[in-house]
Structure 1
Amino acid sequence: MKAFLLSAVLALLWVPTAAEVLLQPDFNATKFSCLGYVVSMASDCKVFLGKKDHLPMSTRAIKATEEGGLHVHMEFLGADGCNQVDAEYLKVGSEVHFRVPALGYLDVRVVDTDYSSFAIVHIYKELEGTLSTMVQLFSRTQDVSPQALKAFQDFYPTLGLPDDTVLMLPKS
């Protein structure tokens, strides 16, 4: 119970900080819908850091919902073969702000996208009772453009994530 209360208090305290993250202006969920790849990630999550040398590239099929959220179908290789997860990104307030209770994502924001080749997504989450920050770089192809990579590399340090928390995911 103490861990839950601490997590809830920390999440409430974090919200003003989350507001400081610049968001994609005039976000359009329908244009954001696509099939893409998570090509790079940065995170201070201990679970991620412990597994980052063994993580392959994964796919996301993203579709806008009538409620203004996103339905996201994820596929990734695991030790036991191909794994699939479906998650509902529930709209919170603005068009570009979501929560994903099923995955422990307390705050998900689309930071930048050109709708045709890449997106940068900021995730604040709770996993195994610990709060952490993650940034994901999505690409519509397995080969990310230099402009998208630069935008990602310019963004994650603003959250205090050092270079040793970054992983360019190998193609799978």
Structure 2
Amino acid sequence: MGGALGPPAPALRSGPAVSRTLPPFPRGVPSSACTFRPAPALRPVLFHRPRPLRRPSPQCGAPTGTWACRWRRARKARTTASGSSRSASFLGPEIMALGLLWLGFTLLGALQTQARDPAPKLIPAPPLDRVPLQPDFKDDQFQGKWYVVGVAGNAFKKEEQGQFTMYTTTYELKEDHSYNVTSILLRDQNCDHWIRTFIPSSQPGQFNLGDIKRYFGVQSYIVRVADTDYNQFAIVFFRKVYKNQEYFKTTLYRRTKELTPELREKFISFAKSLGLTDDHIIFPVPIDQCIDEE
């Protein structure tokens, strides 16, 4: 009986008439071929391990197949995937080693390129004892605003002449006889302010850069006033070591923007005494922007 208590009963197949108390005959076997015989005598049952039932292997050639076919295909796919993952994990270290090998070749090539194209060779800085030092230096008279009208150094080039504009440097004397130094220069149409501290050394007129650890890569920085009359001009020598490379420069200060021929020749002569040539001497272009603003 079908309905809410279970699935509907299957429809009866058409076939030879059978008794209601007996199951239908197997399909394709006539009723005349079947006779009923008495059951044989029962034999004693011996305890033994029963053979496991084997499920017949279904034919899985069709795309869909039965649930057993689908189960077998899923199991085969898992086995294949597991084998692939084992192969990938086995090849992983080899691939990593190959990648590291190529990385090593790349770094080696970069080092060889640097060896072929080293940093430009600079004129060595002169010893400090060859650089004059202003006798009886008066730090209170040296302070104030200076215009930078000439620069020369082993990192400067003559072709920068038209691009190098004039700037100012102001020395403000503190109670401990150090200077607060502020340079104002025009860069990209903006006024840049560069502030640092010069600390006096044991020699009057010679200074060291204060708080040098703030300046990455700078190992030493020395400032030495070579010549000045305090009111008209000053020639100052700078030497710094940056990332094991030694740079030096000298600047010509003026209280005004005017550069006289006598001071020009004096500065050129001093720069050449340091080992520099005409290719390393620049006279900045005078400007008004930034440097004249208070």
Q: Is the structural similarity TM-score above 0.5?
A: yes
Among residues 228, 236, 246, which one is paired with 1:121 in the alignment?
236
The SS at the match of 1:38 is strand
Say which of 170, 184, 188 aligns to 1:79. Answer: 188
Residue of structure 2 aligned with 1:138, choices 245, 253, 271: 253
Which protein, 1 or 2, shows the higher relative CO under an 8 Å CA cutoff with sep ≥ 6? 1
2:273 corresponding residue in structure 1 = 158
Specify the code of the residue in structure 1 equivalent to 2:149.
V
8 Å CA contact 1:23–1:110 kept in 2: the answer is: yes
* Residue matched to 1:49: 157
Q: Is the 8 A contact 1:43 1:133 kept in 2?
A: yes
Q: Contact 2:238–2:248 (CA<8 Å) still a contact in 1?
A: yes
Give the residue type in structure 2 aligned to 1:58. Answer: Y
Contact (CA 8 Å) 2:158, 2:278: kept in 1 or not?
no
Once residues 127 and 77 of structure 1 are traced to their aligned partners in structure 2, the CA distance between those partners, rounded to angstroms, is: 24
Partner residue, 1:96: 205
Structure 2 length as normaliser, TM-score? 0.49
Structure with a larger share of its residues in strand: 1
State the Cα distance separating 1:33 from its structure 2 match. Answer: 0.8
CA shift digits 1:80-113 (9 cap, x unpaired): 5110011111111111101123664621100000
How many residue pairs get aligned? The number is 156
How far does residue 18 in structure 1 lie from its aligned partner after superposition? 0.6
CA-atom RMSD in angstroms:
2.2
Alpha-carbon deviation of 1:153? 1.7
Per the alignment, residue 141 of structure 2 pairs with 31
- What is the match of residue 52 of structure 2? none
Q: Confirm or deny: 8 A CA contact 2:268 2:281 kept in the other structure.
A: no
CA distance in 2, matches of 1:88, 1:51: 31
Whether the 8 Å CA contact 2:158–2:280 is kept in 1: the answer is: no
* Identity among equivalent pairs (%): 28
| 2-structure distance, mates of 1:51, 1:71 | 32
Distance 2:157 2:254 in 1: 22
1:150 is displaced (CA, Å) by 2.8
CA contact (8 A) 2:157 2:279 kept: no
Counterparts of 1:60 and 1:127, CA distance in 2: 22
Counterpart amino acid of residue 37 in structure 1 = Y
3-state SS, counterpart of residue 108 of structure 1: strand
Q: For structure 2, list consecutive stretches of 5 or more residues without a partner in the other structure.
A: 1-124, 288-294
Larger radius of gyration: 2
Listed as ranges, the gaps of 5+ residues in structure 1 are 1-13
Give the corresponding residue for 1:18. 128
Q: Secondary structure at the match of 2:224?
A: strand
Q: CA deviation at 1:133?
A: 1.3
Query: What per-residue deviation string (whole Å, max 9, x for no partner) do you get for residues 6-59 of structure 1?
Result: xxxxxxxx7x911221111111011001211111100112xx439834221001
**Amino acid of the structure 1 residue aligned with 2:151:** M
Q: Which of structure 1's runs of 4+ aligned residues deviate more than 4 A?
A: 102-105
